[in-house]
Copies of this chain bind each other. A is one copy, B any other.
């Protein structure tokens, strides 16, 4: 399970460190792809397999399903973790998520997300202010 929020920077060689706590769970081979809300998703090879199959089963007849499949699958790229626990972020993904140097790596249970720092702050602020809704949902979950 991936949880937590970590600050990192992408260097001029497009290398990005993965939090040590995530490394052993990820394994050596991972997959990075376009995510929702202008962030990147990073999956372990295993989780990626599960997700890719789900996507492939979506109805080909629906235009938005095709679009989603193309974004997630065509946008994907293998990301090998090097000896220092870093991955390479391809240009087209950096651009997609409009990343500057400073990024935030967050864990969301079965996936890791990578955000441009300022984008993450904006998103967080907006979401946290909806804290009343969160209370309602907690109620539904019986927590």
Contact = CB atoms under 8 A, between A and B. Distances in A.
A143 interface: yes
A99 interface: no
A52 to B, nearest CB: 6
A21 interface: yes
Interface string A118-137: 00000110011011011101
Binding site secondary structure of chain A: helix
A109 B69 contact: yes
Interface of A: 1-5, 21, 31, 33-34, 36-37, 51-52, 54-56, 60, 63-64, 66-78, 90, 92, 96, 106-110, 113, 123-124, 127-128, 130-131, 133-135, 137-138, 141, 143
